[in-house]
A and B are shown apart, each in its own frame.
Chain A
């Protein structure tokens, strides 16, 4: 465990080194706010009583990072998130209720830019691990495959075809279930992308491709060898009227997102970015069986632990 935590700290430095070198500014992450990311796949948000009003603990700081990129250009933060996941996630080996993700956002960037950025971040961290953490990894019995860009890119449609070829039929429009994602990931030896998710499978802030209605300009980056999802990213929906319509997909009253919508109404520039989970990255680099081995005091759905 100590070894894993030391490796995790080193990976944190590697991430900062890479992003700072690329001109990104590290900001302090918001922890609570009147609203948070509703696109969290069945999980429930944690709430706190904020002087008589209900505030949310960040399930992700997506709304804030969009605003911060509008003002500072290239930004990132190590953002602690809480998602009260359904009990079924306790057995996936990939879900934590409390976790940290590095949230990266770049003003003026496209989906393609964000994919290249995620690719080069993961490649550079992998290289760092191989070059400088070799003996620590060897002690864990872990041999890391290469991660040389460009990573393979599969469209969502092509991914369904691959899964279908293995007798795993998933109807179009449905998010790839966890067990299938793990299987898919086990077919590859290097990280790879799934892109072009259909509308309805992702949060309202993933931009719909204006030239291909129904298709989002977004992606997942997956680790190989069965480790599954590393990162989700997208170009952002930033035009007020489009966001209002997309927000209704959550079944909510847009009034709840007042501060965010006010900002959009005034106008913010386009941006793109992604979030990469620190514990999942650690799990992959160290070759751990479960993600809860990759942080101190892990919280797993339904398990009462310190």
Chain B
């Protein structure tokens, strides 16, 4: 593969920084953004708050104990998603190869852009400047020969950082780096590696491939490549990521519940979200996947094939209900999600039956109204009460496309 230059842009304390821009009274104070509803977990803390040990995922009681003067702000998801779109629009001015990684991170392949915009460092500085001018927000940029190294570089100097890892420096940078610093090696995996006596990327790179393969299967081979700083995965746009895959939507409930009626209402809401998006993009699902997360964060999925490819809300909802009925809930539910594996595209075969055609016309009419006047303007009576609720932004949020998961 020819040499590449990849940038990873990582916004600094994204949600908290936006709140501090929005409200001048917060600018000199430690701030933590928390979920809406009755959620009390911190989604982002400002750098001021982090100095006291406040971290993402911590509950507000713990944060308050560490930093008594902290200010909690409830999340404003619509502002965050719009800001993310504006930042991606800035990146599009530098290269067509952009991969949103989450709401506040993106990769950009600038291999072909240097003749137009200067060296990778110049491009990185220009991007940081444009983001600050247009949003008032700070960002950190990592530059590397691939996505893995660019992501590592952006984490090495924060906030307002700019780190370049040249191809020739990769080995020395990784030699003593703890394995868990690499994107893709989580706490569990790092624990297993540590138990084998592997703590640094250098040790992982030196470990015989056979041992890694026997311990981790296919992942073992990839781990060895990662430890050597090798990552051939391309920067894939949202559209490229979506060529297959699934359409899904999940919501963290305002409060944990075991109430069947409430859960059914959310299932219908999620089914409508997933199906209306599938209809918009001419997709039909072939398998339905239901995700449930309990109050203790234990998460599991159940899936079943759909009888025929569909994007009809009622069919998907009834199928989701059947899956739900087969589950014996052991705890209150914190999060629920509906997703469809998509194999059929541009499904346009007309049904032979009058009733089916009328349903298709009805859904088309609903979609047209909701497209013009906003989602859930025309919807089922059982979900009217919950249509204005917002949830937590999913890590898989993307700004466009069928996978666009817009919790606003």
* Co-assembled chains A and B: no
Query: B-side interface residues toward A, CB under 8 Å?
Result: none
